[in-house]
Each structure stands twice: as C-alpha cells, then as structure tokens.
Amino acid sequence: MPCLKMWKRLLLLLLSVLVMTGCAIGTKAANQSQNKSDTPKSNVTVIKETKGAPLKPAEGKIMTVQLNSGYAMPVLGLGTWTQNNTNAAESVYVALKNGYRLIDTARYYGNEKGVGEGLKRAIADGIVKREDVFITSKIMPGNYDNAAAAIDASLKDLQLDYLDLMLIHQPGSNDKAVYQAMEQGVKEGKLRSIGISNYYTKQQVDEVLSYAKITPAVIQNENHIYYQNTALQNYVKQYGIVIECWYPFGGRGNTKDSFENKTIVEIANAHGKTPAQVILRWQVQAGYVTVPGSANPEHIVENIAVFDFALSAEEMERIAELNRQRRYENW
C-alpha cells in the first residue's frame, strides 16, 4: 500500500507541474497578443473631402489626403529648405517626435543625408516606422540629363529603399526625359508617387499631361495668402492632382507680411491661435497640402497644432480675399 500512496503522490506532483507549465505558457501567449495589439496603429487617416470640413483627426492621427497614385499623403509636413545636414537631422527628429509624418527635402537643399539621419534616429527610438512617414525629394535641374542616377543618389543619401514622392524641381529644357525617368522609378519600386514643382499655369500642366503615362499626383508651388492660384487648383482637380504649398508664410525675410496681416491677426485672436496656425489651417482646410519650414522646435510644435479648430466659411472667405496673385519668387 505505501507503494500505491507514493505513486498517487507522484501522479499529483506531475499533474500540478503540468498545470503550472500550461498556465505559464498561456500567460506568455496572452502577453504576446497583448503586445501585438499594443503596437502603434498606422498614422494614416484618409480624408475624402477636405473643403470646408472641420479637419479633426482621431487622437494621435495625422490627416491625410488620398493621392491619385493610391497612396495617402499627410496634409501638413516639415519643410527643410536652408537647413544643413545637422539642422535637418535635428528638426526632422523633433518633427517626427511631435507628430509630423511628412518631410519635404530636395537634392538641391544638400540635406538629404541629414533628413535620412533624423528619420533613422526616430525609427531607432521607436517613434515611427518607415511606412508611417511620407518623404518627398526633388530632382534638381543640374541633374536633368541623368535623372535615373539622381533618383538613386537621393535614395542613397536618405538611406531609403523607396521615396514616397519625387518631384521635378522646376520646368527645364528636358522635363519629358526627367518625367519618364521618374515613371521608370515607379515601375522599379523606387518611387511611390511622382509630381512636378513650379508649374503654375494650365498650359504648363497640359504639356506634362500630354506625355505623362502616370498622371502627376502632386504639384508643389509657391502658395500663400497673397498668391493663392485657385484657378490651377480648380483645373487640376479633375485629374485628382493635389496642390502642395511652399512658402506658406512667404519665405524667409517675408514672414512679417503674413504674420502681421490685419485679417490674419484678427482671426488668430478670435480663435486664440497664432497667425502661423491660422494660415496653415486655412491651407489645409482649403484642400492644400502645406510644408512650413522651420528649424525652431517651438515653431515646429506650433505649426502642427492646427487640427483642433476650424475656420468658419466667412473667415475662409476673408482670407481668400487677401489674394493679390503676388509671388515672392520667379522660378
């Protein structure tokens, strides 16, 4: 009998070990699935109609517009013109940390390495994943005779496998070949969307459309309260082309013109917002994408805080009336 008792004890011991192991495995599995559901969700929220709509993204999400290429593009991002590699790395990191998911650079700016470094650091720190961020660069006129090589050079400096958007920086003598090189870049998976920059008239856009096999997704142009060019925006709507604004504040040396404009100041005071925020809010609410440039962390944070208020139809109209079709640059 003592032998039977011993066997019973052994059996009980074995059973309890099995139960405990099972519990441990179950807990681990539960933790794993918990971790899985804790992973950050995509930052993409598609907005179908931007005009006049109060753009209020769900918490922690960035508003995006659907491009004709099928990809979503954040409606507000960071511009990096005049920033060297060191400044660009820092401002890109600060921007991503503060919710930006669109970064604008160009081969011409000479800071693609810095932009790539800032992005790499943000990925390493778990702030973003590559697929959450929309990176734009541009092929500069000096490279128009070998655009394919320019695409590879941008990718290399940015340390990327693909660019979300590549633009022809400005019209040139051989735009067609440059555009075709970008189309080839799309075929090869190096570029997701392509577009043009500094094309201001229907005629200029029609010329590109006459040879484009892939319709441009974006036209990036000078655009601000004094140069609104709504005629172009209305014309390209039929092609699903989005207008992206450079110089939203008029550019360095000119920002006072915009920030001290009486109408802008009045509207800003009415909302408890800054003139910069009212201008950016007007642009995204009017259906534009905008890329304010800044290397100042406080401004970077300020410029993205435009999704918690809306301008009334009357305020939108008052800002529309500021248009003088006046550009600061002529390229």
- Contact residues for ligand NAP, defined by CB under 6 A: 79-81, 104, 169, 197-198, 220, 246-252, 255, 276, 291-296, 299, 302-303
Min dist CB 79 to ligand NAP, Å, is: 2
Q: With beta carbons less than 8 A apart as the criterion, state whether 43 and 101 touch.
A: yes
C-alpha distances in Å from residue 177, one per residue of 109, 200, 203, 284: 22, 20, 19, 32
Give the whole-angstrom CA distance, residue 324 versus residue 317.
Answer: 14
Q: With beta carbons less than 8 A apart as the criterion, state whether 64 and 103 touch.
A: no
The tokens of 191 are what?
């570029």
Q: How far is CA 202 from the centre of its chain?
A: 26
Q: In sequence order, which residues have a C-beta less than 8 Å from that of residue 235 and are 6 or more positions away?
A: 202, 205
Q: With beta carbons less than 8 A apart as the criterion, state whether 134 and 164 touch.
A: yes
DSSP annotation string for 16-66? HHHHHHHHHHHHHHHHHHHHHHHSPPP-EEEES--TT----PPTT-EEEEE
Give the whole-angstrom CA distance, residue 230 versus residue 216.
Answer: 18
Query: Which helix or strand (DSSP H or E) is residue 283 part of?
Result: helix 275-285
Query: Which helix or strand (DSSP H or E) is residue 152 part of?
Result: helix 147-158
Min dist CB 164 to ligand NAP, Å, is: 14
Q: With beta carbons less than 8 A apart as the criterion, state whether 114 and 87 touch.
A: yes
Helices 112-124, 147-158: inter-axial angle, 10-degree rounding: 40
Min dist CB 198 to ligand NAP, Å, is: 5
Q: In the annotation, is 199 catalytic?
A: no
Q: Which is nearer to ligand NAP, 132 or 222 (CB)?
A: 222
Min dist CB 275 to ligand NAP, Å, is: 8
- CB-closest chain residue to ligand NAP: 293
Q: Which is nearer to ligand NAP, 285 or 290 (CB)?
A: 290
Q: In sequence order, which residues have a C-beta less than 8 Å from that of residue 59 and are 6 or more positions away?
A: none
Residue 293, beta-bridge partner list: 79
Min dist CB 71 to ligand NAP, Å, is: 19
Q: Active site residue: 100, 109, 227, 247, which one?
A: 109
Q: Which is nearer to ligand NAP, 85 or 197 (CB)?
A: 197
Q: Which is nearer to ligand NAP, 107 or 169 (CB)?
A: 169
Q: Which is nearer to ligand NAP, 160 or 304 (CB)?
A: 304
Q: Which is nearer to ligand NAP, 11 or 76 (CB)?
A: 76
Min dist CB 192 to ligand NAP, Å, is: 18
Q: Which is nearer to ligand NAP, 216 or 293 (CB)?
A: 293
Min dist CB 204 to ligand NAP, Å, is: 14
Catalytic residue set: 109
